[in-house]
Structure 1
């Protein structure tokens, strides 16, 4: 399998586009976590080969990929190439006209996890619009969706666009099944973004393939708290825990595989999850003391989640049920979190933005989303049919 970045390094792309890129002034939206197939940071071999980079753009976690979640990152210089780095996760979330002035194209090479609320894709959406305004071409160097691309496994709900944040701008399901290149094509087409878009496709990948198994041997965490492909598979559901007063395991060895809090009875919680019969999932009692965020420094009890059948697992439904069951076990203990929005975001709560539905906390804890059929999004397959690049 060759990634989009691999093909660019090999100069295995349209000759006319290659000539424009090698002879032009280039920007690049990327980070240190976007590796080539031979495990090099993508921008390094390009710079070594003489590509003329004028600026790098950094998403959440910065160009290094090391900043904490939600931490605003400032502008800097790339320690590898010396090229200026413009942060798109801080005071600004999209490039200004001056940032794009004189550029011929911006490359996009970012890892993704296949969940709507992963901020990298929305940073790309802002870049597409800014480049449209500036008359700058965008070239997406595509990568596989690590959760696979089976659209029958997509899970909603569809985002209510009143939510408006960097975890969701436009209507789409939580587990979407597209690559970042396909998402770019979808948005350019459906949002009428007048930008010159090119996608350098992955070769040798099929929609049925996930990063589980052999690819885990070279898994590079796409952000600090996604240490494995199995974690990424759970993430579209367990990330919902960020919207309530429990720990999802940041600062531990198993982030997004645990749900715990001082008020949880881990034995009862594990038993309730087992009794619910959630497909592809097993839960065992588990305790830890988080170092950051909710309940930092407090002993917490809860569960550790194991994926027993990745094809059967429905991560969003799993995440909904984890909160619904917890609310039933400990009435009144589960509470919704609040957070100061970033510039330009709505005033919806974090859980409402993540789930994409106004009043999400009350609905989920009341069991209104317990039926997995409520998360079905059959319309999504038809909506993206014209944007698919892989079979």
Structure 2
């Protein structure tokens, strides 16, 4: 069975565990036996003196894009400093009374999932204030196969944001430890970064091979199916279609009161997806309290599933078949308060809505080119930790 970085560290019991440690984590970070990492570390004698938390808060319950306040952990009485509030990066005061920083947060493999960008700010802060950073690595639930990397790459000049700060593919097929080493080098940060690797992890592993329960990493990512669809269905945020927030099928469905041509869309995607027509009434977010027609979606073969291409094609098919109803719309978050150009920030390319005005055959050819990013596969190889 796979062992996470947290388990390797607990077994090693290094001398530095008695130093003053700041732990960046949330309740989704657990051992393979579902024990929260911060509790396991404290029980093992690690001197955790404060906690930092990313988007969704320490308890992972905060709504998407909602500003998270500072607080205290009820179980340990430790202070929690939010890194998704007015600040996204620890300051000098936050780090003045610690000797080192420990990072343990699970990721789901998509560029616009913000935990990665919290880590990049942390690397910069640790360099600025001369603190060692130790990353407890975790597997990528949607796989590490380099053949399944999908662009587009990110246009940093025009599209950089907290849902895509630096230039990597949308589906990156890396662990956060690997990306930390990559960015620390190519961005010339040169912080003291150590990654404690997972054991028994191969690049062919997906979450169903791990032999453990799926721990929701945020309110809307509550299953492996949601995670593997997210790099594609996440782009529904920029539309007047619901991605399922407010239901138990978030990022596993697409729906709207006006969605009418389900059977036509099913036929065009049936080679890669299991699709089932459903009706739903979201309890919150888009169309709260309204009856919506929708499609429940799951990949037929996750080992060969192109999440980004499939998500883009799904939006294109719905837009073309509902020209009087489909609309692009802003998506307001703490990191993007006016919500403008949300699709550009998600996809990482400027004027991205224009792609969807192309004829279908031209659209498919264009997204195939955008999603093919073989140059990145070669560029990231020196930083990879698993075979």
TM-score by length of 2: 0.94
Shift of the 164–214 alpha-carbon distance from structure 1 to 2, 3 Å rule, reads closer
Deviation at 1:341, TM superposition (A): 5.8
1:37 paired to 2:38: no
Aligned to 2:262: 269
Q: Distance in 1 between matches of 2:356 and 2:132?
A: 42
Q: Secondary structure at the match of 1:32?
A: coil
Alignment counterpart, residue 385 of structure 1, candidates 364, 369, 381:
381
Q: Distance in 1 between matches of 2:350 and 2:10?
A: 45
Deviates more, 1:363-372 or 1:173-182: 363-372
Cα pair 2:229 2:298 within 8 Å, conserved: no
C-alpha offsets along residues 52-90 of structure 1, whole Å, 9 cap, x if unaligned?
Answer: 222110001111111111111100111121111100011
Deviates more, 1:63-72 or 1:199-208: 63-72
Alignment counterpart, residue 297 of structure 2, candidates 288, 305, 312:
305
Shift of the 165–346 alpha-carbon distance from structure 1 to 2, 3 Å rule, reads farther
Runs of 4 or more, structure 1, over 6 Å off, are 344-347
Q: Secondary structure at the match of 1:212?
A: helix
Q: Distance in 2 between matches of 1:148 and 1:166?
A: 23
Question: 1:192-271 residue pairs with structure 2 within 5 A?
Answer: 192-212=188-208, 215=211, 217-265=212-260, 268-271=261-264
Question: 1:172-183 residue pairs with structure 2 within 5 A?
Answer: 172-183=168-179
Q: Distance in 2 between matches of 1:233 and 1:201?
A: 23
Deviation at 1:230, TM superposition (A): 1.8
Question: 1:1-391 residue pairs with structure 2 within 5 A?
Answer: 1-11=2-12, 18-19=14-15, 21-161=16-156, 162-212=158-208, 215=211, 217-265=212-260, 268-277=261-270, 279-340=271-332, 342=334, 348-366=340-358, 367=360, 369-371=363-365, 373-374=368-369, 375-391=371-387
C-alpha offsets along residues 291-350 of structure 1, whole Å, 9 cap, x if unaligned?
Answer: 222211111112111221112211101110111001110113211121446458997511
| Unmatched tracts of structure 2, length 5 or more | none
- Equivalenced residue count is 381
TM-score by length of 1: 0.93
Cα pair 1:55 1:85 within 8 Å, conserved: yes
Shift of the 46–386 alpha-carbon distance from structure 1 to 2, 3 Å rule, reads same
Q: Distance in 1 between matches of 2:86 and 2:372?
A: 37
Q: RMSD over aligned Cα, in angstroms?
A: 1.8
C-alpha offsets along residues 14-68 of structure 1, whole Å, 9 cap, x if unaligned?
Answer: xxxx22x223111011001101011100010211233222211000111111111
